Amino acid sequence: MKQKSFHVYVHHLDGELSIEIGVKRKGRDLFDLICQRLSILENWYFGIQYENRGQLRWIKMKRSLSRQIGRGKRPVVFLVKHFPEDIALVEDPTCRRLVYEHCKREILGGQRDCSPETCVLLASYALQADYGDWHGVDYAELSADRLVPKRVRSAYGTNPELWAASVLLWHKDHAGMSRPAALVEYMKVVQNTTDYGIHYYPVTWVVKPVWLGVTARGIEVYGESARRVAEARLRWILIRTVRFSGRKFVVTPVFSRIPDYVFRTGSKATAKEIFRLCVGYHDIYKKTLSRRHWLYTTQCEKPPLEAPLYEHIEEPSEDDYQGRHQYKGDSFIVEKLPTLFEENTRAPSV
């Protein structure tokens, strides 16, 4: 008798889950089950990652789950895929906490670049968010790994007691701050770091190797040896289309006088992954604009045009990948922009 279901072991930011799911189910079904178990409402910030031939890939929502991860005991990871541009616009407290845990894990693991002063400030906010006021925290039992990244401690060679004393000084300043407020302050500091929420991909641009960064703000290009200063920035509002063909990933700006940005990736799968990531970020960008407009109208004591809704951001179907694999963003904002720079610039078509 054929197996009708199998178990999927899910590692997430708060622990682990074991979910039994049918063999004919798709990636969206597993994603919905995880979000239901974790009580996540704003689920468009998250994704499921698995390892395939030594590379990390995102599970495709509209494809068979068993064909992507198999029916064995291969674990998957549920984590943040699309980082919010502004944590203040995230309403769901569970979503806020998971984004916070993800960022804290990356910073303590040395995956994000932070100065020593920023690390100490972040540690003080993290303790306030996790434990409350300073007098309720036993600093003697806290390991240095939970305060400052190992990379920073190794570079400056300070003993753990001095790091803890520096964190304590900042922690005392946060006395009386609620835990949710401390979490938001932590994320505000993280959002101001240079590489917050950037997904880096090694590509070739103009015959030289560079890093392509996809963020909530747009697409950025960094030098091969330095990822602190971007060589080029393309905001979503100034991008007409993104598309891929084979190993090529192409970005077309709004202004016709500017040539396309053509990047060569290592494989077609990487180009498609960048494309999917851009589509997801742009959909969240549109949702964020709607949310900000709603907040503006409510603050001006005007009736909101539309209240924010919790809804799925659907990935493009397989039909969307036919032909030139092109994705066009909404042009209701960029239509009026070209006239500010050039009279004869053609406005984008809807």
CATH class as words, domain 5-80: alpha beta
Tens place of pLDDT per residue across the chain (350 aa): 456 888 889 998 888 888 888 888 999 999 999 999 999 999 999 999 998 877 888 999 889 888 888 876 678 999 999 999 888 888 899 999 999 999 999 998 888 888 888 989 999 999 999 888 888 888 777 777 778 888 888 777 777 778 888 888 889 999 889 999 999 999 999 998 888 889 999 999 988 999 999 999 899 999 888 777 888 899 998 999 999 999 999 999 998 898 999 999 988 989 999 999 999 998 888 887 766 666 656 666 544 444 443 334 444 444 444 333 455 543 323 333 332 233 333 333 33
CATH, domain range 199-341: 2.30.29.30
Q: What six digits make up the tokens of 129?
A: 């968010």
- How far apart, in whole angstroms, are the C-alpha atoms of residue 320 and residue 331? 19
* Per-residue model confidence (pLDDT) at position 143: 78
- How far apart, in whole angstroms, are the C-alpha atoms of residue 62 and residue 82? 18
**For the chain, which residues make up each domain, given as ranges?**
5-80, 87-112+114-191, 199-341
- How far apart, in whole angstroms, are the C-alpha atoms of residue 143 and residue 108? 12
Question: Which residue type, as a one-letter code, is found at position 131?
Answer: Y
Does the domain spanning 87-112+114-191 belong to CATH 1.10.287.130? no
- How far apart, in whole angstroms, are the C-alpha atoms of residue 219 and residue 212? 7
Residue 285, by phi and psi: left (phi above 0), alpha (psi -120 to 50) or beta?
Answer: alpha
CB 261 within 8 A of CB 232: yes
Question: Based on C-alpha coordinates, what's the Rg of the chain?
Answer: 22
